[in-house]
Amino acid sequence: MSDKLISDISVSGIKSYFSDDYIYFGDVINSPTTSDRQARFIWELLALEQGRPVVELGCGYGRISNRLAEKGARVAGIDISPILLKKAEADAAERGVNVEYVLGDMRSLPWRDRFDAAFLWYTTFGYFDDEDNEKVLLEAASSLRKGGRLLIDHPNRIDFLSHKSPICHVAQRNGDVRIDMYSNDVISDRSNLERIIVRDGCVRRTHLSFRQYGFSEYVRMLRSAGFETVEAYGQEGEAFTSDSSRLVVVACK
């Protein structure tokens, strides 16, 4: 199977996964209060200020980008899903904020030397093979000015693998159900998510796979991409340990 075909399959899977169903269960998975708290954390860790330009790669339906815009940042967001971007734009209009939303692929960004900060939030990194994942980091670096900061939020591989596979999570809304089943491939270092949606009497299945990286791998990739310093944090700024549920990486160009 060619690399291009693998890439096409990966993009197709991402588009089917990030659909209207993803939006529908959004506030059940991440309540508005949770999203407010996460936006404050991102603001602080990226040292944002009013008027500072920041870009979210894989911005989804704008739950973080629009909140940062409300705080006064000049925000741009890019995502591969037209459905999610339409929701992001509608929410921005409702909040009365201006966010530059772009339909596109994070492996090929339309900006150069423009932003003071960039971030990939809520397991938005690792969808592709190693070469293309590193291309995302190179593109992020190219979009940043000298001194710019990049934040990546990802599951902590050590903690994730400590749980017996498969891991199952169930969410419900108005009698509809979302079932997520995670399994780990320790040979490829990838986590595979099988999602079953039971909504309005219909059943839909989607699949998503993402690469699990350890901190030392992030250091290597980010320095290769042009970042000078790389730091690790736990969930929402805690000290990072093997028991941390999340690995938050902050790199400075």
Residue 96 one-letter amino acid: G
What pLDDT does 9 receive?
A: 44
What is the average pLDDT value for the chain, to the nearest integer?
94
234: which 2 tokens?
Answer: 């736990």
Bridge partners (DSSP) of residue 102 are: 78
SS3 137: helix
Task: Tell me how crowded residue 2 is: count the other CB atoms within 10 A of its CB.
Answer: 7
Instruction: State the maximum Cα–Cα separation within the chain, in Å, rounded to a whole number.
Output: 52
Query: Among 129, 115, 144, 125, which residue's Cα sits nearest to residue 218?
Result: 125
User: Mapping DSSP to helix (H, G, I), strand (E, B) and coil, where does residue 42 land?
Assistant: helix
pLDDT 10s digits, 32-60: 999 999 999 999 999 999 999 999 999 99
pLDDT score, position 1: 38
d(C-alpha 178, C-alpha 171), whole Å: 5
pLDDT of 99 above 80? yes
- Domain 3-154+214-252, CATH: 3.40.50.150
Q: Which residues contact 167 (CB under 8 A, 6 or more apart)?
A: 181, 182, 183
Q: What's the pTM?
A: 0.94
% the chain with pLDDT above 70: 96
Residue 49 has φ and ψ, to the nearest 5°, of -140, 165
Element (H, E) at 170: strand 167-173
- Residue-wise pLDDT tens digits, 165-182: 899 999 999 999 999 999
Q: Please check whether residue 182 is in contact with residue 193, taking contact to mean a CB–CB distance below 8 angstroms.
A: yes
d(CA 102, CA 244): 33
